[in-house]
């Protein structure tokens, strides 16, 4: 390619002219005529020397731009401004022949720095407007897609949104939440982890004036420090290395006319706390890398499991932000203080799991007593996990376990020791593996038969074997001499 360019540069004008004569001039005229852009060259006095123009404005060669301006052909002349300033001038020019043009005038300087010629290029402004409109449509479509995606992802936990409140504390809490939902006041939810703060936040949103808008839950502790500002407020294209080429709306933009739920708000760094405070006070956000301000109308609900007043004393949380958030505080009691809810939650979760896996399991009286006696440091979240674990791992339809099944790191209160059964003794086996497995099989078959009151057909279904095989196994049942407990 470079060699070809060097060879062409050595050609004489007649040789180059010979090459041009081979072009189809009618085709060339058509290209120029149908092109939306135009190029004109003029001298410093404003005389037009050459015109390559697709716009049908007539033959302007020999005309003077000063005369054209005086005859109202153009409303102003970037080329005259270019000669005057000896610099590139761009702007929108209106003509009497048709649409507006975006004109750029470029000076050609001699060795002394004086203007010798001016080259003007023009493009139809309507084309640029249509392009920009299409680009903006793409932007809107892109932002709508992001918004719809986040709204969809925020609704993935729908089964847990059912309000369960049997205790008097929670009934009163939801009654209060329904009243304050009709206001636009900021709410802060306080309570231990797993007490259901997001459930209460959703309840407030769904009963609020902006209930038809998006609900955007945000875990402040899950966003890296470096990305907090761009995630909260968005960014324009090219704002930083690795940024989306189309830019990205922030969570506050996405939550516009809806609710944003900031969970674990105590994890926000001080710098971000001040920016959040400004949004709460003015409703104004500015994308990273942008100079324009956007107004949003968002209901804010915050949540924390930490003591913010202590953090204020430690200077890790801003007092002005705390008082701005603490307009309506709601304290969620831990699960151990509302035992009525333990019972109803346990049955609710068990019903969900039974429906999901096609089971028909139930909780024994001893199991319920164990659940009521446990302190539940993980609250409702931990209770659900425990119910799911015992339901899936139990071989019996009657879920029967005691405190030994729960985590060892939390002891059971001893106020009612007579009601808490001692953990069963673990059996120790010895002997060949084949004989041990046979003995375990025999004892399990015996257990299932007792649970089924001797009904062989029902026991066979639970064991997953044919009843004839169950008959054979029960007839062969014996204890090998080399198996000892």
356-402 per-position pLDDT tens digit = 999 999 988 888 888 888 899 999 999 999 999 889 888 889 988 77
Work out the angle at residue 190's Cα, subtended by the Cα atoms of residues 189 and 193, and round it to the nearest 5 degrees.
110
- Whether 10 shows a pLDDT value over 70: the answer reads no
Digit-coded pLDDT (tens) for 456-472: 777 777 776 766 677 77
Residue, of 407 and 474, whose pLDDT is higher: 474
Print burial letters for 137-171: b (CB count within 10 Å at least 16), e (below 16): eeeeeebeebbeebbeebeeeeebeeebbebeebe
Q: What is the pLDDT of residue 106?
A: 87
Q: Do 444 and 408 belong to one domain?
A: no
Show the tokens assigned to 19.
């090459």
- Residue 162: inside a domain: yes
Short-list 484, 350, 356, 376, CA closest to 427: 484
Portion of the chain with pLDDT greater than 90, in percent: 35
Instruction: Tell me the C-alpha distance between 119 and 131, whole Å.
Output: 25
* More confidently predicted of 281 and 406: 281
Statement to judge: residues 74 and 161 lie in one domain: no
Residues 6 or more apart whose Cβ sits within 8 Å of residue 40 = 48, 50, 51, 52, 53, 60, 119, 120, 122
pTM score over 0.75: no
Question: So what's the pLDDT on residue 185?
Answer: 92
Do 326 and 340 share a domain, yes or no?
Answer: no
- pLDDT reading at 156 higher than 90: no
Out of 4-8, 55-59, 361-365, the most confident range is 361-365
Range from 45-54, 203-212, 246-255, 415-424 carrying the lowest mean pLDDT:
415-424
| Same domain membership, residue 177 and residue 274 | yes
Per-residue confidence (pLDDT) for residue 268, from 0 to 100: 95
Q: Is residue 307 part of a domain?
A: yes
Half-sphere exposure of 321 (CA within 13 A, CB side): 23
Residue 112 sits in a domain whose CATH number is: 3.30.450.20
Split at pLDDT 50, 70, 90, the class of 76 is confident
Instruction: Report the CATH number that the domain containing residue 302 is assigned in CATH.
Output: 3.40.50.300
Please give the tally of structural domains in the chain. Answer: 4
* Residue 305 placed within a domain: yes
The reported pLDDT for the residue numbered 403 is 67
Of the residues 291, 313, 333, which one is the last residue of a structural domain?
333
Q: Does residue 1 sit within a domain?
A: no
In terms of DSSP bridges, do strands 294-295 and 284-285 run parallel, antiparallel, or are they unpaired?
A: antiparallel
- The reply to whether 353 falls in a domain is yes
For residue 484, tell me if it sits in a domain.
Answer: no
Q: Identify the pLDDT of residue 160.
A: 42
- Of the candidates 58, 40, 60, the one whose C-alpha atom is nearest the C-alpha of residue 105 is 40
324 with 340, same domain: the answer is no
pLDDT at 28: 53
pLDDT digits (tens, 9 = 90+) for 439-457: 777 887 888 787 877 777 7
Q: What is the pLDDT of residue 267?
A: 94
Task: Give the residues across from 249 on adjacent strands.
Answer: 234
Are 399 and 415 in a shared domain?
A: yes
Tell me 95's DSSP state.
B
Residue 1 pLDDT exceeds 50: no
Per-residue pLDDT at 202 exceeds 50: yes
Q: What is the pLDDT of residue 379?
A: 94
Question: Does 200 share its domain with 242?
Answer: yes
Clarify whether residues 210 and 112 are in a common domain.
Answer: no
Is there a single domain that holds both residue 173 and residue 253?
A: yes
What mean pLDDT, rounded, does the chain reach? Answer: 78
Of 198, 203, 384, residue with least CA distance to 304: 198
Q: Is the pLDDT of residue 205 over 90?
A: yes
pLDDT in tens, 162-182: 688 889 999 999 999 999 999
Same domain for 162 and 310: yes
- Where is pLDDT greater, at 119 or 243? 119
Q: Are 316 and 178 in a shared domain?
A: yes
The enclosing domain of 447 has a CATH number of 1.10.10
pLDDT number for residue 30: 54
Binning pLDDT at 50, 70 and 90, where does residue 131 land? low
Q: What was the pLDDT predicted at 180?
A: 95
Last residue of a domain, one of 295, 317, 333: 333
pLDDT band at residue 159, thresholds of 50, 70 and 90? very low
- Per the structure, the complete domain to which residue 347 belongs is given by 336-419
Please tell me the least confidently modeled range out of 214-228, 319-333, 444-458: 444-458
- What is the arithmetic mean of pLDDT over 26-46? 64
Report whether 117 contacts 125 (CB < 8 A): no
Contacting residues for 239 by C-beta, under 8 A, at least 6 apart: 230, 247, 287, 288, 289, 290
Residue 108 lies in a domain: yes
For residues 189 and 268, membership in a common domain is answered with yes
Among 333, 360, 391, residue at a domain's last position: 333
Residue of 160 and 144 predicted with greater confidence: 144
User: Count of CB atoms within 10 A of residue 186's CB?
Assistant: 16
Let me know if residue 12 belongs to a domain.
Answer: no
Q: Say which residue the tokens 């009497």 belong to.
A: 96
pLDDT in tens, 302-322: 999 999 999 999 999 999 999
Confidence of residue 434 (pLDDT cuts 50, 70, 90): low
Give the per-residue pLDDT at 485: 45
- 37 touches 123 (CB < 8 A): yes
b/e 453-466 (16+ beta carbons within 10 angstroms → b): eeeeeebbeebeee
């Amino acid at each position: 390619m470079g060699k070809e360019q060097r060879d062409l540069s050595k050609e004489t004008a007649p040789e180059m002219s010979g090459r041009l004569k081979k072009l189809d001039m009618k085709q060339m005229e058509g290209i120029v005529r149908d092109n939306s852009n135009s190029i004109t060259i003029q001298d410093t006095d404003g005389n037009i020397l050459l015109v390559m123009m697709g716009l049908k404005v007539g033959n302007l060669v020999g005309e003077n731009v000063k005369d054209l301006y005086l005859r109202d052909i153009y409303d102003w002349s970037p080329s005259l401004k270019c000669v005057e300033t000896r610099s590139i001038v761009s702007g929108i020019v209106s003509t009497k022949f048709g649409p507006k043009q975006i004109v750029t005038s470029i000076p050609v300087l001699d060795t002394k720095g004086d203007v010798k010629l001016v080259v003007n290029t023009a493009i139809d402004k309507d084309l640029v407007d249509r392009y920009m409109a299409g680009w903006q449509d793409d932007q809107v479509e892109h932002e709508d897609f992001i918004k719809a995606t986040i709204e969809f992802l925020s609704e993935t936990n729908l089964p847990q949104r059912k309000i369960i409140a049997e205790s008097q504390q929670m009934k009163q809490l939801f009654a209060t939440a329904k009243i304050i939902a009709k206001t636009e006041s900021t709410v802060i939810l306080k309570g231990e982890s797993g007490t259901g703060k997001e459930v209460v936040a959703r309840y407030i949103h769904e009963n609020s004036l902006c209930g038809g808008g998006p609900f955007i839950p945000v875990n402040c502790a899950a966003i890296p420090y470096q990305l907090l500002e761009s995630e909260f407020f968005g960014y324009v294209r090219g704002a930083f290395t690795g940024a989306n080429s189309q830019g990205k709306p922030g969570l506050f933009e996405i939550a516009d006319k809806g609710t944003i739920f900031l969970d674990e708000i105590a994890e926000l760094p001080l710098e971000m706390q001040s920016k959040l405070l400004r949004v709460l006070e003015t409703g104004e956000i500015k994308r990273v890398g942008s100079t324009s301000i956007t107004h949003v109308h968002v209901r804010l609900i915050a949540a924390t499991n930490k003591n913010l007043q202590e953090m204020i004393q430690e200077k890790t949380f801003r007092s002005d932000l705390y008082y701005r958030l603490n307009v309506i505080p709601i304290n969620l009691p831990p699960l151990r203080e509302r035992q009525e809810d333990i019972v109803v939650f346990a049955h609710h979760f068990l019903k969900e799991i039974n429906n999901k896996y096609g089971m028909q399991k139930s909780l024994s009286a001893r199991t319920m007593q164990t659940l009521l006696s446990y302190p539940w440091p993980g609250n409702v979240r931990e209770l659900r996990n425990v119910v799911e674990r015992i339901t899936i791992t139990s071989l019996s339809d009657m879920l029967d376990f005691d405190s030994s099944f729960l985590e060892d790191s939390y002891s059971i209160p001893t106020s009612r020791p007579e009601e808490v059964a001692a953990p069963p003794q673990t059996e120790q086996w010895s002997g060949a593996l084949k004989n041990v497995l046979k003995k375990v099989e025999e004892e399990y078959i015996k257990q299932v038969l007792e649970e089924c009151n001797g009904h062989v057909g029902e026991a066979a279904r639970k064991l997953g074997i044919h009843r004839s095989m169950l008959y054979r196994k029960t007839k062969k049942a014996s204890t090998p001499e080399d198996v000892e407990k």
